[in-house]
Amino acid sequence: MRGYFGVGVEGISKEHNLGNLVRSAHAFGASFFFVIRPEIDVNAVRVTDTSGAFDHMPFHVWDSVENMDLPEGCQLVGIELTDESIELPSFRHPTRAAYVLGPEMGDLSAEIQEKCDHVIKIPMKFCVNVGVAGAITMYDRMMCMGRFAERPVKPGGPLRPHEKQAQTHRRRPSRKTRTTKT
């Protein structure tokens, strides 16, 4: 996977949502996690996280948007369902990115949206759970930035080496059927 990414959330108010998002970020290979103005006890989540995300990813707690301290050159990408947001399937992910999600009962603050280099949305009828929105975005990044085999034309996975070989043999006409010039 090229580049790196971090994930964070502003004003989160439910511990299980934070735990869910941190776990997904860890599983998708995030390089760091952050919370801005959390309304919960972050340490309580730390104790209940069974994937050990807090031990394997740098974790930042910032008390204000102003005090955010992202790595140099890292673009801030807001994830929010607004009319102006860029639709995720049409978005090119920055090589170095920090994705920030909003609170359960509100939206990303105007202050943080101002600070964002981009604001994206997952095109859908209405908002989904914050952890789900984070996981969809990370999956999309993985699809765009990862190195995966092309999807085949036919349903199913890509051919394995021995299947490819068999297909090539099947295509080549056998000696008997080859036409000989007279």
Tokens in use for 102? Answer: 């909003």
Q: Verify binding: residue 121, ligand SAM, rule CB under 6 A.
A: yes
The β-bridge partners of 75 are: 97
Does residue 128 bind ligand SAM (CB under 6 A)? yes
Residue nearest to ligand SAM (CB): 102
Residue that is written with structure tokens 């990044």 in the block:
141
Q: x/- site string to ligand SAM, residues 80 to 99, per CB under 6 A?
A: xx------------------
Q: C-beta of 81: minimal distance to ligand SAM in Å? A: 4
**Smallest distance, Å, CB 145 to ligand SAM?**
19
CB-based contacts of 169, cutoff 8 Å, min separation 6: none
CB of 120 to ligand SAM, least distance (A): 7
Q: Any idea which residue has 């996977």 for tokens?
A: 1
Mark the segment that binds ligand SAM (CB under 6 A) among 31-39, 54-62, 102-110, 148-156.
102-110
**Site membership for ligand SAM, residue 116 (CB under 6 A):** no
Which residues in 130-149 contact ligand SAM (CB under 6 A)?
130, 133
Give the strands of the sheet with 59-62, arranged side by side. Answer: 59-62, 32-36, 4-10, 96-101, 75-79, 118-121, 86-87
Q: Residues 44 to 83: which contact ligand SAM by CB under 6 A?
A: 79-81
Interface with ligand SAM (CB under 6 A), residue total 17
How near is the Cβ of 79 to ligand SAM at its closest, in Å?
4
Cα distance between residue 170 and residue 17, in whole Å: 53
102 is an interface residue for ligand SAM by CB under 6 A: yes
Name the strand (E) or helix (H) holding 101: strand 96-101
Question: Residue 70 CA to chain centroid, in angstroms?
Answer: 18
Partners of 99 in beta bridges: 7, 77
Identify whether the C-beta of residue 78 lies closer than 8 Å to the C-beta of residue 100: yes
Contacts to ligand SAM by CB under 6 A:
79-81, 101-102, 104, 106-108, 121-122, 124, 127-130, 133
